[in-house]
């Protein structure tokens, strides 16, 4: 396991904060042993939490031309037909994955193809499980066209804790299935919009793994 590059700055700032906090407690409350030890324990816990959030575990990825691979770790919270109003402007099958703060937050391309559309939207920070988060939160919308012509839309959505979405793609890019397309810092969500009639291979509340779980099958 390695640490993702998006974590370097946050981890460095966390270490500086922990150093300053512990130095202050040691200086100001040198005689209060229980407070010093409590600070040490909480500081260690904070560092481990931040470190694990930015972990990049080694994995054997799933790759199949007509499979839609899960773009993120987390839990399936939505499987439903819905109106996609930004790009398709018609009915689509939506599958949403909620990413808690303890999940790996790397986002991976669900299919290979060409990026036909990309847009970043600044917005609110509603809880990621709130249905309105799909249209009101900070988010990106990415559409990749498979070589058979089928377009798949996927959307990074910031959550109540997330304050920064990172993306590595732009319109016209050729992307490869399971390769990184972005990262969301702290709790968040990824929506995938598929053609109606697409065979979905996951169930509600199922725990899924980015780059491994087969979300659906294209026809």
Count of domains for the chain: 2
On whether residue 85 sits in a domain, the answer given is yes
**Are 11 and 71 in a shared domain?**
no
With contact defined as beta carbons under 8 Å apart, do 148 and 178 qualify?
Answer: no
Instruction: Tell me the residue range of the domain where 75 lies.
Output: 67-217
**Are 116 and 184 in a shared domain?**
yes
199: pLDDT strictly greater than 80: yes
On whether residue 89 sits in a domain, the answer given is yes
Residues with active-site annotation: 188
> Residue 155: pLDDT band by 50, 70, 90 thresholds?
very high
163: pLDDT strictly greater than 70: no
On whether residue 160 sits in a domain, the answer given is yes
- Cα separation of 186 and 170, whole Å? 23
**Are 35 and 78 in a shared domain?**
no
Residue-level pLDDT at 219: 82
Which of 17, 36, 56 marks a domain boundary? Answer: 56
**Are 71 and 107 in a shared domain?**
yes
> Residue 123: pLDDT band by 50, 70, 90 thresholds?
confident
- Looking at beta carbons, which pairs linking 60-63 to residues 24 or more positions away fall under 8 Å? 60/212, 61/108, 61/178, 61/211, 61/212, 62/178, 62/211, 62/212, 62/213, 62/214, 63/177, 63/178
> Residue 52: pLDDT band by 50, 70, 90 thresholds?
confident
**Are 39 and 94 in a shared domain?**
no
Residue-level pLDDT at 136: 74
**Are 113 and 14 in a shared domain?**
no
Give the H/E segment covering residue 12.
helix 8-28
**Are 100 and 169 in a shared domain?**
yes
With contact defined as beta carbons under 8 Å apart, do 105 and 185 qualify?
Answer: yes
Label residue 186 left, alpha or beta by phi (over 0 means left) and psi (-120 to 50 means alpha): left
161: pLDDT strictly greater than 70: no
- Cα separation of 149 and 114, whole Å? 10
**Are 11 and 72 in a shared domain?**
no
29-43, 91-105, 122-136, 148-162 — which is least confidently predicted? Answer: 122-136
**Are 37 and 130 in a shared domain?**
no
On whether residue 62 sits in a domain, the answer given is no
| Entry pTM | 0.87
146: pLDDT strictly greater than 70: yes
**Are 49 and 77 in a shared domain?**
no
159: pLDDT strictly greater than 80: no
**Are 82 and 185 in a shared domain?**
yes
**Are 179 and 73 in a shared domain?**
yes
């Amino acid at each position: 396991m390695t640490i993702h590059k998006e974590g370097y700055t946050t981890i460095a700032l966390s270490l500086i904060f922990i150093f300053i906090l512990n130095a202050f407690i040691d200086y100001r409350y040198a005689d209060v042993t229980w407070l010093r030890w409590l600070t040490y324990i909480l500081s260690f816990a904070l560092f481990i939490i931040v470190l694990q959030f930015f972990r990049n575990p080694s994995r054997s990825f799933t790759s199949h031309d007509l499979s839609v691979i899960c773009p993120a770790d987390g839990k399936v919270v939505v499987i439903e037909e819905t109106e996609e109003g930004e790009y398709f402007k018609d009915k689509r099958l939506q599958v949403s994955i909620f990413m808690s703060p303890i999940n790996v937050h790397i986002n991976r391309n669900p299919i290979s193809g060409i990026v036909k559309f990309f847009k970043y939207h600044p917005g609110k920070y509603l809880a990621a499980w709130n249905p309105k988060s799909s249209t009101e939160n900070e988010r990106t919308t990415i559409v990749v066209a498979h070589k058979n012509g089928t377009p798949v839309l996927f959307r990074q959505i910031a959550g109540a804790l997330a304050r920064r979405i990172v993306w590595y793609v732009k319109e016209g890019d050729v992307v490869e299935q399971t390769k990184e397309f972005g990262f969301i810092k702290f709790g968040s969500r990824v929506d995938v919009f598929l053609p109606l009639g697409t065979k979905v291979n996951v169930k509600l509340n199922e725990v899924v793994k980015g780059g491994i779980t087969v979300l659906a099958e294209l026809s």
